[in-house]
Amino acid sequence: MALLKITDLKVSFHTRRGVARAVNGLNLEIEKGETLCLVGESGSGKSVSQMSYLGLIPKPPMKIDGGRVEFEGTDLLSISDQKLRQFRGNQITMIFQEPMTSLNPYLKIGFQVGEPLMIHNKVSKKEALKAAEGALERVGIRDVAHALNTYPHEFSGGMRQRVMIAMALLTRPKLLIADEPTTALDVTVQAQILELLKDLQKETGMSILFITHDLGVVAGIADKVLVMYGGRSFEYGSAEDIFYRSQHPYTQALLRSMPRVDLPVNEIPSIPGFPPDITRLKSGCPFFDRCSYKIDACENQFPLIRNVTPKHETFCHVQEFAK
């Protein structure tokens, strides 16, 4: 049985401009000890899809319109808020995308890092602070004794991100959702944090759902990759399938957009056009206006799943296209 199984998840926001359909039937599975990377442009529904079932987005304006999210067989969409809190921050933790606003400015770093243990494991404040000290040391915070008694505004963005990582890992979760966890870090520290996550994964057997724009990071850590666009799954397979045997024009466009040292600065490749307006999504493929390989069927009908192999899926009307 998969650790996490999401089936036909649909999430919308009711706004003055109309209903914004942020997630339109997402399906994914994560096995124990596995790393799944969610990739796609901003606005494709990556973060919303994960924050929605954890109860981290106000309702309204958000509404979950359908689907199932099973964690070890428990449907997180059908349980009470009180029951959900037993999972969130304990068995399922999240590293948030924006470290500058994710910490409480009124509480000291030590208390914030140790608080999950006090809530879920019922340990004393002294024990929680001791555990927090070890967690901060592990993510590379220097002078931990001083750091425990500082406030978030005394830390840089990169240091705050390390605090967020320490907090998320403290309870040794079964599933870690990492939303752009290395964005605020320089390249050297980024590599150290990714290595730390891999070490902890081997040590504890936790699964990682990694949300990122950085395909270089994906290549280094992913077991499986799910490509999202317009709130939908576009391609799903192993990292090797996605990088070397990709089948969807959008996946190919993302790969071509990766920076390359052999190209002049003024020749950085990009995907022409703009992401779709999710308040005006049509019934067809949301990538239609930007796709170089579109056919008539693409405009009015979203394609059915096509199994390239038993573990490699794509959603595209076009069977063959130039790579």
- 4-91+173-314 belongs to which homologous superfamily? P-loop containing nucleotide triphosphate hydrolases (3.40.50.300)
Written as one letter, the residue type at 93 is: T
- The proportion of the chain whose per-residue pLDDT surpasses 70, expressed as a percent, equals 98
- pLDDT exceeds 90 at position 187: no
Mean pLDDT, the chain, rounded, equals: 90
Q: In this predicted model, which residue has the larger pLDDT, 88 or 191?
A: 88
In tens, the pLDDT along 236-265 reads 999 999 999 999 999 999 998 887 777 777
SS3 helix, strand, coil % of the chain, rounded to 5? 35, 25, 40
pLDDT band for 216, please (50, 70, 90 cuts).
confident
> Residue 222: which residues within 8 A CB-CB, separation 6 or more?
35, 36, 37, 210, 239
Whole-angstrom distance, CA of residue 57 vs CA of residue 50: 10
Q: What is the pLDDT of residue 90?
A: 93
Q: What is the pLDDT of residue 286?
A: 94
Whole-angstrom distance, CA of residue 210 vs CA of residue 46: 10
Q: In this predicted model, which residue has the larger pLDDT, 216 or 224?
A: 224
Q: What is the pLDDT of residue 186?
A: 78
Q: In this predicted model, which residue has the larger pLDDT, 293 or 76?
A: 76
Instruction: Sort 27 into a burial class: Cβ within 10 Å, 0-12 / 13-18 / 19+.
Output: middle
Edge to edge, the sheet with strand 62-71 lists 18-30, 4-15, 62-71, 74-75
Q: What is the CA radius of gyration of the chain?
A: 20
Whole-angstrom distance, CA of residue 13 vs CA of residue 21: 7
In tens, the pLDDT along 37-57 reads 999 998 899 999 999 999 999
Direct distance between the N- and C-terminal alpha carbons of the chain, in angstroms, rounded to an integer: 36
Q: What is the pLDDT of residue 19?
A: 93
In tens, the pLDDT along 266-292 reads 777 788 889 999 998 888 999 999 998
Q: How many residues does the chain have?
A: 323
Name the pTM for this structure: 0.92
